[in-house]
Amino acid sequence: EIGTAVGYSALLMCQTMPRACHITTIEKYEKRIPVARENFKKAGEESRITLLEGDADQLLGQLEEGRFDLVFMDAAKGQYLNWLPMILELMPEGGVLISDNVLQDGDVIESRYAVERRNRTIHSRMREYLFELKHSDIYETSILPLGDGIALSVKHRTFEK
């Protein structure tokens, strides 16, 4: 998981995954980290969740290749495209990438000029990210209009360096 926040998503995943599974989650924002750790402890799941503190840009490159069957991205939306190559290496064939909040309150389908000026960079980056996912020969992607939008991508072939 990229973007722990207070641990809500990680704890939901723990409730549904088999006992032998493990979650590795990354959080950068220092004020959220102790709250997430406390929530994991209260839920009795601290042994099944590893919280890595720091920037995903650096931490993703330190993780073991091909080890993550599922990656859930719910962090800095403007960074999704930058993280995609690193995530590709972390997932085996058949791995699933879930990208949250990809529809940006519906703004992603609007013209760049219809979006508030302060949101134009994130708008452009998210459109580039979705274009990459939908036109990739590595992923098969479906975009679901649930909540603020979710992209479900299945890695169907190995990434070639």
Average pLDDT score, the chain:
88
Distance CA 150, CA 85 (A): 19
Q: pTM to 2 decimals?
A: 0.89
Q: Would you state the pLDDT for residue 103?
A: 83
32-36, 102-106, 126-130, 140-144: least confident range: 102-106
Please report, rounded to a whole number, the percentage of residues in the chain having pLDDT higher than 70.
84
pLDDT at 34 over 50: yes
Quick one: 161 exposed, middle or buried, by C-beta within 10 A (0-12, 13-18, 19+)? exposed
pLDDT at 28 over 50: yes
The phi, psi pair for 152, rounded to 5°, reads -110, 120
**Contact at 8 Å (CB) between 73 and 4?**
no
Distances in Å between the alpha carbon of 114 and those of 77, 106, 107, 147, 155? 19, 11, 8, 21, 33
Distance CA 126, CA 131 (A): 8
pLDDT at 115 over 60: no
Do the strands 70-73 and 150-155 form a parallel or antiparallel pair, or are they unpaired?
unpaired
